Amino acid sequence: MNWVRCDDGDDTPKRFLWLTGPAGSGKTAIAGTIADEFYKQGLLAASFFFSAFAGSKSRRWKKTVIPTLVYRLIQHKSIVGLREEVLAVIEDDPMVFERHLHQQLEELILKPLRRVSGRSNMQDWPGLIIIDALDECQDDDESSGSNSQEEILSALSRACTDPAFPFRVIISSRPESTIKRFFASTRPALNIFLDDKYRPDADIRLFLDAMFGEIGGRFHLPSTWVSKDVIGLLVRESSGQFIYATTVIQFVNNTRLGPPQQQLRRLLDWRRLDKAEPFAPLDAVYNRIIHTSPEPLRAVEWVCLIRSEAALKHPAWYLKGLLESYPGETEYVLGSLSSLVGLVDERGEPCFHFYHNSLFDFLADRSRCSDLYVNEESITRLLRDQYYQVLKGRGPRSIASSSTPAWVPAFFNSFCGCLGTYLDPHRSYTLEDVEWWLANLIGSAQRLQPPRMIDSIHMECTWYHCLPACRVWRKGIKQYYREHGWPVPRKVDTLRGKLKRFETADVKGGEYGLEPCPQSRNIDTPVWVEDAKQS
């Protein structure tokens, strides 16, 4: 906070501060505290807090960073004229928010700041911009996000070289390679690594004292219900990581499993004192909490699937409909893991919220999670199995026959659009399965062409022999076309498809000789069939 208010004494003052440290060390808590303090004093120019676990993609993607910063900056009346300049830019070019990040920053922040320079005293302006959890920023395709992280850092670094940009910038993140390389090679930056020299144990002890006191007050327990020795033990086992202490409190506070005294005794019994690794106590907590589920391995599979890239694009109600085989199965499998994952939002609607990335660090390391380890192949098999079961059941299996939730039509829409990706060619299908899928696909206005379904199945066939599932889907699609009066693929094209993988389903004159059906141009769902002249 002193660094924001004062020069650091260097000939070239540092405009960046990188707050970093391992998972669970309290980076976001510190960034939030600083943001609150400077907001109260009118010195917070703008902030953006990334979150990979937020339900909204706007908390994970770079595209909302500059608009958010701009919105906050134009709220400051001390920067005279900035609001009018920015709104004029947007009025002249409404597509400015679709531009490259550097161009957005130039047009929406730097140019307007240059134009208002001199209209007011910069000493009266707010002085700080905070970007928290940059390591949780993902690319727009929901991959790791290293390109987006580097682009954000590069844009802000460039801004800091402009005299019209008077702000200092705090970046908080885990010490991931892309961000480390940037700060190692860019302009001078102040670096704070949250290790033992900042005495985290004192803060963790204060936190545990306060939270155990609050829990004891709610249950009318004596003030000594948690001894100083126990708190001291938990502080030592935290190894400077707040995530351990917060996980302990969340578990003790989980009254679904028992009163707080019993929960604390259980947790103390689980301690692994025979290992010296810094995260061994945290691993022990995660391991034991997960084993409170009646089906621990299934719980891990569900957690990994929910967190997978394939699932991030789907809302929680869709994932529940896909995973559950009976009503309430989510609560049965994951309910005892409430200290690790939240299952509903403040309105009681389905919403999967994971409290910290360190859970996935634990699950991704076989040496740490041992018998709970689940690889990507297992997740893919689970997805294929769930899609198969829903297809056979003609919808989510957890829906009671007496009630149909409002989200069911949207579920069918998404399910039919994704089915081709997760068909299991080694399963048994019927012509009725194909007909049901096609009817719901076309009825839901999905933009997925049936030949892509054929390709998805055909990928695992040999050049000389198709799997039974492949033949069923080929036959079913052709039969459906005939029944609806649409031209069907020629035999020669089907044979050619068996010998060779086609590259795309929507290329005119592709391996199946398919083109858009004239009838389909009047509906949202293109139906790909053979050219009518060739039929």
Which pLDDT does position 302 carry in this prediction?
96
Phi, psi dihedrals of residue 46, rounded to the nearest 5°: -170, 165
**∠ at Cα 262 (257, 264), nearest 5°?**
100
Q: Please, which residues have CB within 8 angstroms of residue 119's CB and are 6 or more apart in sequence? A: 80, 81
Lowest model confidence (mean pLDDT) among 108-117, 247-256, 382-391: 247-256
Statement: the pTM of the whole predicted model exceeds 0.95: no
Which pLDDT does position 487 carry in this prediction?
66
Share of residues in the chain with pLDDT > 90 (%): 42
pLDDT at position 11 over 70? no
The residue with greater pLDDT, 410 or 524, is 410
Lowest model confidence (mean pLDDT) among 87-96, 152-161, 214-223, 442-451: 442-451
**∠ at Cα 309 (381, 315), nearest 5°?**
95
Q: Which CATH code for domain 1-6+13-193?
A: 3.40.50.300
pLDDT at position 170 over 50? yes
The pLDDT tens digits of the residues spanning 43-79 come to 999 999 998 766 577 888 889 999 999 999 999 999 9
Written as one string, the DSSP assignment of 407-438 is THHHHHHHHHHHGGGG--TTS---HHHHHHHH
Q: Please, which residues have CB within 8 angstroms of residue 297's CB and are 6 or more apart in sequence? A: 371, 372, 374
pLDDT at position 141 over 80? no
Instruction: Determine the average pLDDT of the residues in 124-137.
Output: 93
Lowest model confidence (mean pLDDT) among 248-252, 446-450, 467-471: 446-450
pLDDT at position 459 over 80? no
3-state SS track over 289-353: HHHCCCCHHHHHHHHHHHHCHHHHCCCHHHHHHHHCCCCCHHHHHHHHHCCCEEEECCCCCEEEE
Which pLDDT does position 501 carry in this prediction?
46
In angstroms, the first-to-last Cα distance of the chain is 75
**Contact (CB, 8 A) for 226 and 216:** yes
If one counts every other C-beta atom within 10 angstroms of the C-beta of residue 364, the result is 13
How do strand 168-173 and strand 514-516 relate by DSSP bridges?
Answer: unpaired
331-335, 344-348, 461-465, range with greatest mean pLDDT? 331-335
- The DSSP call for residue 49 is E
- Helix (H) or strand (E) segment spanning residue 20: strand 16-20
Written as one string, the DSSP assignment of 100-163 is -HHHHHIIIIIHHHHHHTTSS-GGGS--EEEEE-GGG-B-TTSS--HHHHHHHHHHHHHHHTST
Q: Please, which residues have CB within 8 angstroms of residue 503's CB and are 6 or more apart in sequence? A: 510, 511
pLDDT at position 444 over 80? no
Which pair of structure tokens corresponds to residue 48? Answer: 């953006």
**pLDDT-derived band of residue 446, with 50, 70 and 90 as boundaries?**
very low
Which pLDDT does position 145 carry in this prediction?
60
Domain spans in the chain, listed from the N-terminal domain onward:
1-6+13-193, 200-273, 296-422, 424-499
The whole-angstrom separation of Cα 332 and Cα 399 is 16
